[in-house]
Amino acid sequence: MTAKLTLDDIADLRAYERERDEFRDHVIALKKKRRIGVGPIVTILFENRDTVRFQIQEMARAERMLTDEAIQTELDIYNTLVPEPRQLAATLFIELTSEDQLRGWLPKLVGIERALELRIGDDIVVPSTPEAAHEAALTREETTASVHYVYFNLTDDQVSAFEAGPVTLAVAHAAYQEATPLSDDTRAELLNDLRA
C-alpha cells in the first residue's frame, strides 16, 4: 500500500530550500510522463506521492507555513491524491485563458468530472469517480469548476490489461468528446501506482 504523507515527510522551509532545485527537476520529469492533454482544453495530471509532496512543499514555501497545524491542513486536503493500490488519482484541469472562454465553456462542461474514461484494450472501460469532498464543495448544476480531483479504480484483471495495453484516456461528455492514447512510457509510469 502506498503510504500517505505525514508531517515527517514535509521538510521545513530551510531544509526544503536546500533540496528544492533537485526535487523540482525530479517532479518536472515525472510530470512529463504523467500529464496528458485530452483535446484542446482538458489536461489530466496523474498524481503520486512525489507530485503531492511537491504541491504541499511549494504551498508551504509560498505561504510561509511554519506550524505543524498549517502543514497538517494541507496534508489532509492533498493526501487524497496519493493513489491506493489498483487506483489512479488525477487532477483534471480545464485550461481556459479568458473570461469569455470561462463563461462559454464552464456551464457546458457540468459533469465532466464523471465523464473521463480509461479505455483499455478492445472492450474495457473504467470510468472516473470524483473525489467526494472536492465534489461536494464544487459541484453546481449551472457551471463546473476548472479543477477537479478524480480516481480510476481498477480490478486486478484490469491492471493486467492496462499493462498489456493499449490504453486511451478519453473525455466522453456531451459537449466535449476527445481521446488521447497513453504512450508506453506513461503506461509504465502509471503501473507503478496501480501495483503499489
SS (H, E, C) 133-158: HHHHHHCCCCCCCCEEEEEEECCHHH
pLDDT, tens only, 62-73: 999 889 999 999
pLDDT, tens only, 165-191: 999 999 999 999 999 999 999 999 999
Average pLDDT over every residue of 38-47:
97
Residue 166: is the preceding peptide bond cis (ω within 30°)?
yes
Average pLDDT over every residue of 18-30:
96
pTM here?
0.91
CB contact at 8 A, 57 and 101: no
Domain range annotation of the chain: 7-194
Average pLDDT over every residue of 155-161:
97
